C-alpha cells in the first residue's frame, strides 16, 4: 500500500520530469476523465506536481485543472523515456501523459479524476487534509522551506547540517 512517503517520492520524480513541460500526449481509460475532455490538456503546461498525504495532484496551466490520483493499495506512477519498455502491461495503464523527454504512466490507480480548482478545494477527501508535513512552505519573496532543509532562495537549497551535541 503506497504511504505518504511513497507518494512524496513519486511526486518529486514526476515534478523533476514534468513541471514546466508542455503536454504532448494524453491517454486515459478512465471514463470520467475522458468525458471531461482530457485531450484538452494537450498543449498545456504542467504547472505543478503536488503530494497531499496519499493523494497526488498534477496541475495544468492555463486551465488550472488538476489531475487527482489516489493510489489506494494497487496504484503507482512510473516514468519512462520515449520508446523504453514499460515494466507493467499496457492494459493496467489508467492515465498516460507525455512531455518532450518523458512518459508518465499511472498504473492501476482506482481513483483518478480531472478537477477544477474549486472542485479540488471542495473535494471531501482533499478538503479534510491538513498541511503536508513533507511538503514545502512558501514564505513569499521567492523563499520556501522544505522539511529537513534550510530555506532556499531562487530554487537553490542545501541540506541542513546535523545539530551539534556538546560544546
Residue partners of 165: CB distance under 8 A and separation at least 6: none
Does 167 have pLDDT greater than 50? no
Q: Where in the chain is the domain with CATH 3.20.190.10?
A: 4-130
Q: What is the mean pLDDT of the chain?
A: 81
Does 40 have pLDDT greater than 80? yes
Q: How confident is the model at residue 2 (pLDDT cuts 50, 70, 90)?
A: very low
Assigned CATH topology for domain 4-130? N-terminal domain of MutM-like DNA repair proteins (3.20.190)
Calculate what percentage of the chain has a pLDDT beyond 90.
54
* Pairwise CA distance, residues 136 & 64, whole Å: 20
Distances (CA, A) of 148 to 50, 139, 158, 163: 18, 16, 10, 12
Render pLDDT for 94-153 as a digit per residue (tens, 0 to 9).
Answer: 999 999 999 999 999 999 999 998 988 887 666 555 555 555 544 455 555 554 444 444
User: pTM value?
Assistant: 0.76
Amino acid at each position: 500500500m503506497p504511504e505518504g512517503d511513497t507518494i512524496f517520492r513519486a511526486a518529486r520524480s514526476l515534478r523533476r520530469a514534468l513541471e514546466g513541460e508542455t503536454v504532448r500526449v494524453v491517454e486515459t481509460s478512465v471514463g470520467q476523465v475522458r468525458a471531461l475532455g482530457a485531450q484538452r490538456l494537450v498543449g498545456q503546461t504542467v504547472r505543478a506536481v503536488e503530494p497531499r498525504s496519499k493523494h497526488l495532484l498534477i496541475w495544468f496551466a492555463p486551465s488550472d485543472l488538476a489531475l487527482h490520483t489516489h493510489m489506494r493499495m494497487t496504484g503507482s506512477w512510473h516514468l519512462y523515456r520515449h520508446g523504453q519498455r514499460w515494466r507493467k502491461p499496457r492494459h493496467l495503464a489508467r492515465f498516460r501523459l507525455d512531455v518532450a523527454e518523458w512518459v508518465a504512466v499511472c498504473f492501476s490507480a482506482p481513483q483518478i479524476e480531472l478537477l477544477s480548482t474549486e472542485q479540488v478545494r471542495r473535494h471531501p477527501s482533499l478538503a479534510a487534509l491538513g498541511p503536508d508535513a513533507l511538503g514545502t512552505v512558501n514564505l513569499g519573496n521567492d523563499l520556501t522551506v522544505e522539511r529537513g532543509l534550510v530555506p532556499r532562495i531562487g530554487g537553490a537549497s542545501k541540506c541542513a547540517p546535523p545539530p551539534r551535541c556538546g560544546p
